[in-house]
Amino acid sequence: MFKKTLLFSIVAIEIFALTCSPFCARAWSPADFVDPITKGIHNSIFGGAGSSNGSLINGMLQQGEERYHMDQETMQEYGENMNVSWNKGSAPEVMVTFSPSDPKMGEKITATALPMYFSTPSESLYYTWYLKHERCNLSAGVGPPSQHTLDSCDRDGDKRITVEDWKIEAMRIIANGGFKTEKVGKYADIAIEDGDNDGYKAHMGGDSNIRPATNYHCYIHDFKNGKNYELLSCDHLFPEAPGYETGANDKSFPKFEEKFWHTNPEDPDTADNGNKDEANIAGLGVNKFTWSYNSGDKVGVIVEGESMVPTKHNDSSMMIMWALPKNDCEVKDENKASYTKEIKGYDVTIPTAAVDINGCLERNLVDPREGGQPKNLEIALSYSPENPVNDPTEDNMGDRVSVQSIVSNASQSANQLYYEWEVKISRNGEFSLDDNDWRDITDDDNFFSTGKSISLTKGINISSLDFDLNFDQDNLVNNNANYLKNGIGYLKICLNVEENFEQGETRSGNSDVIIRFISSDKKIVPHKTTINDDGKLVMGSSICQDNLMEKSICFVVKNEIIGVDIATSNLGNYSWTFNGEPLICDSSISDDCRDDEQTGTNFFPVAGNPGDTYTLTVTANDTSPDIDDANLGNTIHLIKNFQIVEPSVKIVSAGENFDPKILGSYQDLDGNSFTDYSESVFQSPENSAVQLTAEFFPNFIGAEENFNGDNPTTKVQWMLGDVEESRGKNFEIAVNRPIGSIYNIGLNAIYEQPLAIRKALRDIWGISQFESTENRMSNFVQMEVIESSAANQSALKGSQKALASLLSHFPEQAMFLLRILLTVLMIIFVSGAVLSISPRRQN
Amino acid sequence: MNTKTSLNKKDIISILMMIFCLFMVKLFPEKDYFQKLIVSLTFLLAVPALYIKITLKEDLKDFGWRAGDWKRGITWIFLSLAGAFLILTLLYQYAGLAEKYYVPQNIIQNFGLFVFYEIVIAGFFLALYEFFFRGFIMFSFLKKWKAISIILQFSAFLLFLIITKDFNWGSVNYIIASFFSGVVVYKSRSLLYSYLFSLLFIIISDAVYINSLVN
């Protein structure tokens, strides 16, 4: 600090010397000195004719420059800046902020004024707020406003709309402070009475300005040329009740004014902000203004206070100035003037201007919604799963992608917002920010079957989007398009949300999220397990591959050991979980596993109870520290579900002549008729051969290999009545009993794990041999022997039925005809008999 | 002319026979279409015919099996058609019959089936109805109760529809035909004209209905 002060002192002296040198030289011209000695001294000090080395002062200055390393150009720049510094002073300004920044109609909004470059403390400034409603335009002199406009806008009752009405509208809200005027029985119309002593005397330039009135000098800053002009009149810009002056010397706020300003005549501080009522009208320290926002409202504020610029007058005054939000108050050239005043013995010119600041207020109105548009909705999107996998096969077992949206600044709840989702796919399988690189597939049936694999995409309350990644390979890669690159594609989920912001106005927001997906037909394949000579687990034949149901959920039996693998050539890292817990396989369990890392093979025991479900997951990628590896970013996350079931067996036909008995038929809601077949009663024609077989669930129990060997894992026993007939998987019956006879067929089966598997269960997973016992199953059906022709009857239908019925059931029809004939004969006989016993038959 | 309106023993037996036949159509056990056909044929035609011939020992001519007065018959066919279509029009207009009436779907789309259905199926059952309700029932009481017998046979037909659970909007033209057919029989004393009237009315009314559906 000291060094800076010293530097500036030297600079000032130097400038003084440079400025003074020619002046002094002229003032003390050598011609004025007659005495040659004096003349010589003069020349030696200031320089002159005959001075070979320049003046003494110049020499001193040069020494000063050298001593203090002062550059001449720098010094000149300082001087040039000082020459124009008067035009670059900081005039008072005010900035207005709003909360909320995008108000809705009817919502409370607060405008806050942030004054700058005032020497008056903020709490002593006068803030005159003014509020203009959409309809309350200034009267243009073309005729009186409509009565409706006057009723809404003319606050002072002068039948015109002026800025005074805008001020009254705002300051009345401030002074009123939510006070309900109807609480006061009546306002006295006597003007002189100030019952609650809430008058206030305002000081020019702010409440803290206690200078005498003679020191009030009001100025306006011309922001175009940077000059300050003294105003010809120096008055407050406060709003006033008709016939009254706000902040006058009388310090009186009579009841008439209380009534006009809607303040409480019995409360000196109606607004409860620490100010007297009249001080609130003057806006003393009122830097905030809160009102109920209506569409089209604009607001402004005039801040009165002392600036930081001193006047040229010979007193302690600072310039009293007014700040406006947009600094838009032109000082026209024709209104500019000046006067000269002797100050300290000098004639000082003071520029003046005649400006009505009230005329500038309209141009300084601020729209709380700058730009007239509400802010955009802010939308955040998230999705799961993190690395979705597309299934390009017909299995349609790809991940279901769920995209969730959150609208953070909506004024309404999600069920009132309108959502419109789009799903786009990268045209070249690459990430891109160019929208032209994306193709909209939302309504493309090749990707999404309508109403099936994608949820609703438009409408209110659609805050999330779900769709299945089951894009066929033919649609992803064909002659016209290639949406994949190295098996990886990108989806762009776009969301547009709109809400009714207020009547006739909506606001919207857009967002998108790009999802990287892997298209892979790789799946976790379950296998039966066998044991090798070393007692280690070996992958056996695959299971659960026969139909889509089994592929989506694999049914297994208790005490199985299930092997799983994932056949991939381009992945190297694997992480297996089993019901959320890590599933570890090492070389002690199987030669397909490793001790240092997981491989694409794993094993787990089925140790639960029927009904339990298992979820097996594997995550794999191609990340490798080896620089020779491509590291293409291939990642896959696969899930396989298992359910433990109670095994069962069923007797089914392996050939012909074993048809389920028809119990009737039923109709669905569309009127389609279906035949209802019995599951336990079958019919076979007489003198036929019936081939039966055992059908197991899960079907891998019935695999042929399970019946082979010395110790087959699956054993069956066919029974006819109580007699055992066969022990093979298949069974043939010669139907030689008479029509109407019944065969009671029984099938008992046992499914048990080989001893080696049971040992592995015990040794690896600690499952006791008492828990890994066999499963027993059985099934019983009845076979009814029928006539051979009846079996074909069901093939006939429609109009042939009557004839077919007659032909195929001739004995039955004959019986019917006989019955009806007998009935006819009987009734004729009875009627005849009754009539014949009549004593007198009447014709 | 001596007309006795009270019921004698023969009338009572005949009434019982009529009721028996009506109920047997519904109650006699049958398993298929063939048997259903035989049952209808038996109790609406064979039994009444045998009863007339064997039990009552009367001539079938007295029960409408004759040509009758062809002039009156033809005249009343047209008059009855006019009356029947007037009622049908009113039902279409005010009872929304167009939405309630129905015919088998097949005959709407296939003209050959339509002709087969109207001539063979409808014609067969109309013949049964004519013989039983107009021939047997109405002629049994025609001499005694004159025009009231029209109401009697009409009531019997309604009873028959209720028993067989066919009393619905799909049978409305049969119901109308039943009444006017009785009128034709009453005037012509022959089942021939009433059968022609019924057949014409059913065919035309179905054709008009189908035409309104198609167009």
- Note the pLDDT tens digit of each residue in A291-337: 988 888 999 999 999 998 888 888 888 899 999 999 999 888 888 88
Nearest to B50 among A812, A813, A824 (CB): A824
Contact B47 A824 (CB under 8 A): yes
Q: Which of A386-390, A426-430, A505-509 bottoms out in mean pLDDT, i.e. has the lowest? A: A505-509
Contact status of B38 with chain A (Cβ, < 8 Å)? yes
The pLDDT of residue A425: 93
- Residue B34 in contact with partner chain A when CB distance is under 8 A: yes
Chain B residues with beta carbon closer than 8 angstroms to that of A803:
34
State the virtual CA torsion across B2, B6, B12, B18 in degrees, nearest 10: 80
B47's enclosing H/E stretch is helix B47-50
Residue A33 clears pLDDT 50, i.e. is over it: no
Tell me the chain B residues in contact with residue A842 when contact means C-beta distances shorter than 8 Å: 8-10
Closest Cα in chain B, distance from residue A743 (Å): 28
**Cβ of B33 under 8 Å from any chain A Cβ?**
yes
Largest CA distance in chain B: 57
Residue of B22, B26, B31, B35 to mutate for A, most A C-beta atoms under 10 A: B35
Q: Is B42 part of the contact surface with chain A (CB cutoff 8 Å)?
A: yes
Q: Which residues of chain A lie closer than 8 angstroms to B39, CB-CB?
A: 820
Question: Which is nearest to A487 in space by CA: A571, A613, A408?
Answer: A571
Once rounded to an integer, what is the mean pLDDT over residues A105-131? 91
- State how far residue B51 is from chain A, nearest Cα, in angstroms: 6
Least CA distance to B55: which residue of chain A? A832
Best of B6, B8, B10, B39 to disrupt the A interface (most A CBs within 10 Å) is: B10
**Cβ-based contacts of A843 with chain B (< 8 Å):** 10, 58
Structure tokens at A556: 């297994």
CB contact under 8 A, B47 and A802: no
Nearest residue of B to residue A833, measured between CA atoms: B55
Question: Does any CB of chain A come closer than 8 Å to the CB of residue B24?
Answer: yes
ipTM of the prediction greater than 0.90, yes or no: no
Do the beta carbons of residue A63 and residue A70 sit within 8 Å?
no
Within 8 A of A824 by CB-CB distance, chain B residues are 42, 46-47, 50
d(CA A148, CA A568): 80
pLDDT digits (tens, 9 = 90+) for A149-208: 888 888 888 888 899 999 999 999 999 888 877 666 556 555 456 667 788 889 999 988
The dihedral of CA A288, A289, A295, A298: what is its sign?
A: negative
To the nearest whole Å, the CA of B17 is away from the closest chain A CA by 8
Which one has a higher pLDDT value, A507 or A140? A507
Closest CA to B181 of B197, B163, B203: B197
Cross-chain residue pair B28–A820, CB shorter than 8 Å: yes
**B13 touching A, CB under 8 A?**
yes
- Calculate how close chain A gets to B76, using CA atoms only, in Å: 30
> Nearest residue on chain B to A828, judged by CA atoms?
B51
Q: Is B15 on the interface with A (CB under 8 A)?
A: no
Q: Give residue A809's pLDDT.
A: 56
Q: How far apart are CA A468 and CA A400, in angstroms?
A: 4
**Taking CB atoms and an 8 Å limit, are A812 and B31 in contact across chains?**
yes
Closest approach of chain B CAs to the CA of A676, in angstroms? 18
φ/ψ bin of A187: left (φ > 0), alpha (ψ from -120 to 50), beta (otherwise): beta
pLDDT at B210: 84
Please check the confidence at residue A791 and state whether its pLDDT lies above 50. Answer: no
Chain B residues near residue A811 by CB distance under 8 angstroms: none
Residues 6+ apart with CB under 8 A from A274: none
- A522 φ/ψ sector (left φ>0, alpha ψ -120 to 50, else beta): beta
Give me the pLDDT at residue B120, please.
Answer: 87
pLDDT at position A649, please?
93
Question: How confident is the model at residue A798, as a pLDDT?
Answer: 46
Give the C-alpha separation, A448 to A493, whole Å: 14
Residue of B nearest to A832 (CA): B55
Whether A562 has a pLDDT exceeding 90, the answer reads yes
From CA A444, how far away is CA A425, in angstroms rounded? Answer: 11
Among all residues of chain B, which has the CA nearest to that of A800? B33
- Peptide bond before residue A385 is cis, with ω within 30 degrees of 0: yes
Most B CBs within 10 Å: which of A806, A810, A816, as the mutation test of the B interface? A816
Cβ within 8 Å, pair A806-B34 = yes
- Quick check: A53 pLDDT over 60? no
* Residue numbers in A near B20 (CB within 8 A): 827
Q: Do A802 and B32 touch (CB under 8 A)?
A: yes
Q: State chain A's maximal CA–CA distance in angstroms.
A: 195
Q: Is A597 exposed, middle or buried (0-12, 13-18, 19+ CB in 10 A)?
A: exposed
Query: Smallest Cβ distance to A820: which of B38, B51, B54?
Result: B38
| Tens-digit pLDDT profile for residues B16-26 | 999 999 888 88
**Could you say which residues of chain B have pLDDT below 70?**
1-7, 214-215
- Chain B contact for A812 (CB, 8 A cutoff): yes
| Dihedral sign, Cα of residue A32, residue A35, residue A36, residue A37 | negative
Q: Look at residue A563 and tell me whether its pLDDT is greater than 90.
A: yes
Q: Is A826 on the interface with B (CB under 8 A)?
A: no
Q: Which of A76-90, A374-388, A522-536 has the highest mean pLDDT?
A: A522-536
Q: Amino acid letter at A580?
A: G
In B, minimum Cα distance to A802 occurs at: B34
Which token pair is A747? 């099938």
Nearest Cα to A24, choosing from A2, A4, A48? A48
Q: Which of A220, A239, A232 is nearest to A360 (CA)?
A: A220
Mutate to test the interface with B, among A831, A834, A835 (most CBs of B within 10 A): A831
Residues of A in contact with B9 (CB under 8 A): 834-835, 838, 842
Q: What is the pLDDT of residues A795-817, one digit of tens each?
A: 444 445 556 555 555 667 788 88
Please, which residues have CB within 8 angstroms of residue A662's CB and are 6 or more apart in sequence? Answer: A675, A676, A677, A678, A794
Q: What is the band of A703 on the pLDDT scale with cuts at 50, 70, 90?
A: confident
- In angstroms, the CA A329 to CA A221 distance is 9
A747/A698 Cα distance (integer angstroms): 17
CB nearest to A842's CB, from B8, B32, B38: B8
Question: Which single residue is written with the structure tokens 């079957």?
Answer: A449
| Average pLDDT of every residue of chain A | 82
Q: Do B8 and A817 touch (CB under 8 A)?
A: no
Phi first, then psi, for residue A732 (nearest 5°) are -120, 135
Cross-chain residue pair A802–B55, CB shorter than 8 Å: no
Report the pLDDT value the prediction gives residue A225, as an integer from 0 to 100: 84
Give contacts of B 44-73 with A, CB under 8 A. 46-47, 50-51, 54-56, 58
Average pLDDT taken over every residue of chain B: 86
CA A320, CA A120: separation in Å to the nearest integer? 10
A823 to chain B: which residues are within 8 Å by CB?
24, 28, 42
Q: Are B178 and B135 in contact (CB under 8 A)?
A: no
Q: Does A436 touch chain B (CB under 8 A)?
A: no
Distance from A659 to chain B by nearest Cα, in Å?
22
How far is A685 from chain B, CA to nearest CA, in Å? 23
CB of B75 within 8 Å of a chain A CB? The answer is no
What are A399-450's pLDDT values in tens digits? Answer: 889 999 998 888 778 788 999 999 999 988 888 888 888 999 988 888 887 5
Is residue A831 within 8 angstroms of chain B, CB to CB? yes
| pLDDT tens-digit series, residues A650-668 | 999 888 888 888 887 788 8
Is the CB of A815 inside 8 Å of chain B's CB atoms? no
Is some CB atom of chain A closer than 8 A to the CB atom of B110? no
Q: Identify all chain B residues contacting A790, using CB atoms and an 8 Å cutoff.
A: none
